[in-house]
Amino acid sequence: MAIWRSVPFIAAALVLAPVGVIVSAFFAPASDVWQHLLETTLPQLLINTFWLALGVVSGTALLGISLAWLTAVYDFTGRRFFSWALLLPMAMPAYVTAFVALGLFDFTGPVQTVLRAWLDSDLSWFPDIRGRAGVIVVMTLAFYPYVYLLARNAFLSQGKRSLEVAQSLGFNRKQGFFKVVLPMSRPWIAGGMMLVLMETLADFGTVAVFNYNTFTTAIYKAWFSMFSLPAASQLASLLILIIFVVIVLEQQFRLRMRYAESKRTERAQRIRLTGWSNWLVAGFVLSVLFLAFLLPVLQLCQWAMRSFTQDYDVARYLEFLWHSLSLSGLAALLICLVVIAMVYAARRYPSAATRYAIRIATIGYALPGTVLAIGVYVPLVWLDGRFSEWMMNWLQIETGQLIQGTLMIMLIAYLIRFMAVSHYPIDGAMQRITPNIDEAAMSFGLHGWAMIRKVHIPILKPGIFTAATLVFVDVMKEMPITLMTRPFGWDTLAVRIYEMTSEGQWEQAALPAVTLVLAGLIPIFLFMRQTEK
Amino acid sequence: MLKSNVSRLYLAVFFLFSSLIAPLAHAEEVVVYSARIEQLIKPMFDAFTKETGIKVKYTTDNEGALLARLEAEGKNTPADLLITSDVGNLWAAARAGLLKPVQSNALEANIPAHLRDPQQEWFGLSIRARTLIYNTKKVKPSELSTYEDLADPKWNKRLCLRTSKKVYNQSLVAMMIAEHGEAETEKIVKGWVANLATDPLSDDTRALEFVAAGKCDVTVVNTYYYGRLMKKDPNLPLAIFWPNQNDGGVHVNISGAGVTRHGRNTQAAIKLLEFLSSDKAQNLFADVNMEYPVNPKIAADPFVAAWGSFKQNPMNLVKAGELQTTAVKLMDRAGYQ
């Protein structure tokens, strides 16, 4: 079917439109700005960005993989609770975690204030939380759930069995993990790390709280402070190029491998931890959860209580909530459907062109939010204008703008941004469906839809649920696209947070932030009910 | 039971999809793109609708995005009025051809000349004064004098500043360039950087908290941040100082607006603009955020007025826009992060 086949190309074209808008200003002269950047801030920006990306990606990998392994293979006190609770930080926008972290641990925060009073010292030895290490720690705590979720998915679908096979081959548990399980989980873990890398490079809100200058802050500065679109465009093009190289390298790696699923029905018993190792593991997991979620939420709740009376209006908050939930739900549905179609197309018609189209389609996640929002908005609005002109000139029908100011334009923009988030988990799941499985199914007389329904869907299900959960929560937190494309009156919780934080009223932002976190629990609960049986 | 749930679901889905289709135009209304947040504009819009019957539709976003949006929408834009919370972006909007000149006696009478565009494309609606705040336990007011003096080595390790990425600081430095020239201003900014007690902070409130906690002795912020903090905790050891009273005057910025070039309800937009500058709305507009009215006939909120009166810099704010890029580059060179 030609339609199947064209899905990756349509998706790639959608993403290329905003990329084209951004790159199109590339050749306009902006030499004075470049000269200026080279002489002043650029070298430091590159160093900052490099260390931030390296630190956050390795930090989330370490944390995500170890937590996933512990909760997937072992049994320890509170394991059932932790395995879903560890996803909760996902519902927490990273810049909120950042703000709370600074509020608590910076010079003016309670921790340093109390220590200064107790020790009667100026605390000059206290680590500077606003430095590089601080940003890396906060972003690691905010982004590790991407790796955790995908790695856990991989371990649950093969981990324990592979470990047993490895042990039967004479490896000990540690060797089995590093030589068999980890390599077998590569597409998932690499996918999670790619998402973290993209999110780190695209981030503006978190680094702004720390006043930590990165490549993205330079793009914003060139565009919005120096009013130089060409310089911003050139910087952004460079960012796109870097991401694309990383994506292609990752794909080249992956092409050489095949991944199969072992039968899930034979999932083996968890290993029960006892004694001190039990408490050590439980303590470690609890402290991650505490720092990444409980502490920020407690602080937010305290602030929310204070601003509660001024801001709380049940009817409006229900409206924000409904807008946030319905938008995220619609977007998750749309994006997952498109990505499933895309992944199937790649499977049925494998070719280099299809593979590259898919890679391009996933690049939207790496672009800084406002830059992408503008990049998406420009061509869509242009097309809309041309279309209504055409209708007017040729058919004498006044259509007005058809998609400008509607939810349609929002959903298309979300699709462009979040395809990557949904692609990695679904693609990972698809890798589990080997040709052997198809052959076996066919030998039982299953073809076409019947095969998809009876054989593929059950295998894909965890991947699809992972994807839907991630997209849902990500859309709910998303700010620049939501702000720019929402129809009049369609304010969401994220919009409310923006309204408060843009004038520096962080404490007032606590109420919508807490509501957002609570709303984020819904997909996470649904997800857990599906996967944790 | 189940059936009613299902029909409720259908209803919800119907509503959702009905908003997928473009909304129909209304009779008398004005559409506003605002970088000033909802809480700071809605009360005035409500008052305007009550008086004139004209409906106000608005959307909020940050300045850069709104400008890009207006540019992308071109002559199909639904927006009639652009509101920002600083002058630099109004200047940029005017330069990009997104605004159109407005001839209005009411606006000229209500708004002092230095707070509106010489080409009449944008108008200030409230004053945001950027002044010095010091720690009362560590600084005597007699030690303070001007913005420029903060570059003096006597303030070594005693100064806190907000990041140079914030437009308020860019406007301040741009106005200093207009006054002193680039070379002199660069020397001053370098002096500031050398005197910093800690790396530049992400917002004004943070800077105030650092002064209150004793990490540094003095900082430069917009007054309403100080007002908010003092309302919450009147016992903080912070006080206001009006700098440059014997020369240029206190640096002011504006929250202001301009009528869009391609808007369809230009008359209604001008009416709204005039209303916002009038006696009826000026107090509302400034007081919701503890700012100063632009209309000199209108007194500030008593809480704000208690901080004393001051001489403001009379130079036209158009300079802040024209020299913004120069200011950003200068701060980069001076190592002001």
Q: Which residues numbered 94-113 in B keep a CB inside 8 Å of some CB on A? A: 95
Q: Read off the amino acid at residue A34.
A: W
Take residue A3 and report the two structure tokens written for it: 């339609």
Hey, which residues does B127 pair with through a beta bridge? Answer: B254, B292
CA nearest A60: which of A216, A197, A182, A157?
A197
Q: What phi and psi, each to the nearest 5 degrees, are found at residue A31?
A: -60, -35
Query: CA B90 to CA B317: how far, in whole Å?
Result: 10
What average pLDDT does range A165-181 have in this prediction?
79
Mutation for testing the A interface, residue in B69, B126, B219 having most A CBs under 10 Å = B69
Contact residues, chain B, for A44 at CB < 8 Å: none
Take residue B7 and report the two structure tokens written for it: 């029909």
The DSSP bridge pattern shows strands B123-135 and A271-272 to be unpaired
Query: A24 at the B interface (CB within 8 A)?
Result: no
Q: Which residues numbered 455-484 in A keep a CB inside 8 Å of some CB on B? A: 480, 483-484
Take residue B204 and report the two structure tokens written for it: 């004004």
Q: Residue B9: what pLDDT?
A: 56
Q: Looking at the complex, report in whole angstroms how far the Cα of residue B261 sits from the nearest Cα belonging to chain A.
A: 17
Locate the DSSP E strands across B35-188.
Answer: 55-60, 81-84, 123-135, 159-160
Query: A217 at the B interface (CB within 8 A)?
Result: yes
Contact residues, chain B, for A495 at CB < 8 Å: 60
CB B74 within 8 A of CB B97: no
Count of pairs with CB atoms under 8 A, one residue in A, one in B: 143
Q: Read off the amino acid at residue A112.
A: Q
In angstroms, how far is CA B178 from the centroid of its own chain?
20
Query: CA A60 to CA A57: how far, in whole Å?
Result: 5
Q: Which residues numbered 61-90 in A keep a CB inside 8 Å of some CB on B? A: none
pLDDT over threshold 50, residue A164: yes
Averaged confidence pLDDT in chain A? 86
Q: Which residues numbered 401-420 in A keep a CB inside 8 Å of some CB on B? A: 401-408
- pLDDT bucket at A521, cuts 50 / 70 / 90: confident
- Residue A53, SS3 per DSSP: helix
Who contacts B116 (Cβ-Cβ below 8 Å, separation ≥6)?
A: B107, B108, B122, B123, B124, B256
Mutation for testing the B interface, residue in A42, A96, A211 having most B CBs under 10 Å = A211
pLDDT over threshold 50, residue A524: yes
Count of CB atoms within 10 A of residue A398's CB?
Answer: 8
Which residue is closest to A408 within chain B, CA to CA?
A: B20
Which residue is closest to A214 within chain B, CA to CA?
A: B337
Give Rg (Cα) of chain A: 24
State what percent of residues in chain A have pLDDT above 70.
94
What average pLDDT does range A168-192 have in this prediction?
82
- Residue B311, SS3 per DSSP: coil
Query: B322 at the A interface (CB within 8 A)?
Result: no
Q: What is the CATH topology of the domain spanning B128-251+319-333? A: D-Maltodextrin-Binding Protein; domain 2 (3.40.190)
Query: CA B196 to CA A211: how far, in whole Å?
Result: 15
- Residue B90, SS3 per DSSP: helix
Mutation for testing the A interface, residue in B11, B61, B164 having most A CBs under 10 Å = B61
CB pair distance less than 8 Å for B165 and A36: no
Contact residues, chain A, for B95 at CB < 8 Å: 227
Q: Residue B248: what pLDDT?
A: 92
Q: Which residues numbered 187-216 in B keep a CB inside 8 Å of some CB on A? A: 198-206, 209-210, 212-213, 215
- pLDDT bucket at A127, cuts 50 / 70 / 90: confident
Q: Looking at the complex, report in whole angstroms how far the Cα of residue A8 sits from the nearest Cα belonging to chain B.
A: 25
For B213, which of A108, A404, A498 is closest by C-beta distance?
A108
Question: Boundaries of CATH 3.40.190.10 in chain B?
Answer: 18-127+254-299, 128-251+319-333
Q: Residue B14: what pLDDT?
A: 53
Mutation for testing the A interface, residue in B30, B33, B62 having most A CBs under 10 Å = B62
Who contacts A64 (Cβ-Cβ below 8 Å, separation ≥6)?
A: A144, A145, A146, A147, A148, A149, A150, A151, A189, A192
Q: What is the dihedral of CA A526, A528, A529, B1, to 10 degrees?
A: -10
Who contacts A362 (Cβ-Cβ below 8 Å, separation ≥6)?
A: A15, A247, A419, A420, A423, A424
Give the 3-state DSSP-derived string for A394-451, with helices as H, strands as E and coil as C. HHCCCCCCCCCCCHHHHHHHHHHHHHHHHHHHHHHHHHCCCHHHHHHHHHCCCCHHHH
A64-88: pLDDT as tens digits: 999 999 998 889 999 989 988 999 9
Q: Looking at the complex, report in whole angstroms how far the Cα of residue B64 sits from the nearest Cα belonging to chain A.
A: 5
What does the DSSP 8-state code read for residue A26? G
Take residue A246 and report the two structure tokens written for it: 């990383």
Query: CA B336 to CA B329: how far, in whole Å?
Result: 10
CB A192 within 8 A of CB A147: yes
CB pair distance less than 8 Å for A404 and B204: no
For B61, which of A210, A213, A483 is closest by C-beta distance?
A483
Q: Which residues numbered 102-141 in A keep a CB inside 8 Å of some CB on B? A: 102, 107-108, 113, 128, 130
Q: What is the mean pLDDT of each run of 10 residues along chain B (337 residues)?
A: 53 53 62 94 95 95 93 92 96 96 96 96 97 97 96 97 95 96 97 96 94 96 96 95 96 97 96 95 92 94 95 96 96 95
Query: B18 at the A interface (CB within 8 A)?
Result: no
How buried is A265 (Cβ within 10 angstroms: 0-12 exposed, 13-18 middle, 19+ buried)? exposed
Q: What angle do CA B88, B89, B91 make, to 5 degrees?
A: 65
A370-410: pLDDT as tens digits: 888 888 888 888 888 888 888 888 877 776 677 777 888 89
Give Rg (Cα) of chain B: 22
For A225, which of B19, B85, B328 is closest by C-beta distance?
B328
Listed range (A160-174, A212-226, A333-347, B255-269) with the worst mean pLDDT: A160-174
Query: B5 at the A interface (CB within 8 A)?
Result: no
Query: CA B189 to CA A394: how far, in whole Å?
Result: 60
Phi-psi region of A489 (alpha: psi -120 to 50; beta: other; left: phi over 0): left
Q: Report the interhelical angle of B324-333 vs B167-180 (nearest 10°).
A: 100
pLDDT over threshold 70, residue A258: no
* CATH no. for B18-127+254-299: 3.40.190.10
Who contacts A382 (Cβ-Cβ below 8 Å, separation ≥6)?
A: B72
For A211, which of B19, B200, B328 is closest by C-beta distance?
B200
Q: Residue B178: what pLDDT?
A: 96
CB pair distance less than 8 Å for B324 and A225: yes
- pLDDT bucket at A265, cuts 50 / 70 / 90: very low
Query: B182 at the A interface (CB within 8 A)?
Result: no
Q: Residue B1: what pLDDT?
A: 40
The helix or strand, by DSSP H or E, that contains position B288, with its residue range, turns out to be: none
What average pLDDT does range A110-116 have in this prediction?
87
ipTM of this complex prediction, to 2 decimal places:
0.89
Count of CB atoms within 10 A of residue B47's CB?
Answer: 16
Contact residues, chain B, for A130 at CB < 8 Å: 199
CB A244 within 8 A of CB A363: yes
CB B255 within 8 A of CB B128: yes
Q: What is the CATH topology of the domain spanning A2-531? A: MetI-like fold (1.10.3720)
Take residue B149 and report the two structure tokens written for it: 């003096």
Q: Read off the amino acid at residue A59.
A: G
